[in-house]
Homo-oligomer: A and B are copies of this chain.
């Protein structure tokens, strides 16, 4: 989406090689004569444009980081600032503090004016220098604040809820006649964003998860009937659990939200686990936090301040059920339970993610300066594209139980395709 309808100001880009505004990337690139025909979904190519919508010397930009931590948030903040400041020469970049609360003067502290010194070393550290919080943005208060501060560009680093909030900020600004470009950088360690091949921080999370699985394997095989149970992040999608399983190669059972499983019965998880112990006397189990929610029945569900459903703790349930099962079967086991989530998400970005953060951020600046709004930057098919927020929030990306990820997990673990 382009906010040019609000005005026609156009300035030349400072970047030599630019990207055509007509270039598109299809969402689906496989051509299969046997597959049913579908209309193409096409995305704008991200990158610098020949003409800017905003005059850099008069432009104020803001950055806000929301939701849970994710490796690379500081890298994104740093590269946003450096591109705005050095490449485009914008007048000022404000860092709003403490997530969306920081957009509301009544709730958050004063924003920081970002400088080169402020961002000098931040990419070496995890977390977010700007602070973060959960919870929705007060749209009216935030737009008042942005107008008062003369902010024309806002970068929102966050998940679904954050991006939806960003969209509302843009819509309300438009209604009030204030040209506000809102460009999101999708943030989720879970890598579950539709149309996005790889969100920043995800590879780092997998790398950290692999270290935990290494420890789990060591614990499990150092004792007789050692069971190491590792709960990994992954609310709706098992990409961390699957990626870490395939990278680590020593996991025997991986459980993800996309593939429901039964505990009991002759083909259930518990009796399969017993068979494994009989043969090999140890086992490593990786479970995504969103897996097996169907096992809890239809109890009422709480929500967190961001509106996310509070998941039932599948890790603790599994631990209890496994211990009870083997106690009943009079088979002594040694259970080791690992719940490393904060350790994983608070790490600094690894090299591959640091590069990704830099490219996400600089493409976000290109889009914003060209007057694009209501979109997020996405890395898809080796390319950066623009995705309208409305499309992004329609669905989540999940592991296809018939696709190559699940096949890779099954090949590595040797577990049956289903516990049923």
Q: Does A61 contact B (CB under 8 A)?
A: no
Q: Main SS of chain A's interface residues? A: mixed
Report chain B residues within 8 Å CB of A48.
Answer: 407
Q: Which residue of B lies closest to A402 (CB)?
A: B17
Q: Is the CB of B355 within 8 A of A352?
A: no
**Given A121-B121, A197-B382, A383-B30, A216:B342 Cβ within 8 A:** yes
- Identify A29's interface contact among B17, B26, B128, CB under 8 A: B26
Q: Does A83 contact B (CB under 8 A)?
A: yes
A1-55 at interface with B (beta carbon < 8 Å): 15-17, 20, 22-26, 29-35, 42, 45, 47-48
Give the top 5 A-B pairs by smallest Cβ distance, nearest first.
A127-B222, A127-B218, A247-B354, A381-B381, A207-B351
Q: Show 23 A/B contacts (Cβ-Cβ < 8 Å), sorted by A.
A: A16-B417, A20-B32, A20-B35, A22-B33, A23-B34, A24-B32, A25-B30, A48-B407, A69-B219, A87-B411, A123-B249, A126-B214, A126-B215, A127-B222, A197-B382, A206-B352, A207-B352, A211-B343, A218-B346, A244-B351, A338-B342, A350-B350, A362-B407
List residues of A whose CB falls within 8 A of some B CB. 15-17, 20, 22-26, 29-35, 42, 45, 47-48, 69, 75, 78, 82-83, 86-87, 98, 121, 123-128, 131-133, 197, 203, 206-207, 209-212, 214-216, 218-219, 221-224, 228, 243-244, 246-249, 336, 338-340, 342-343, 346-347, 350-352, 354-355, 358-359, 362, 380-384, 402-404, 407-408, 411-412, 414, 417
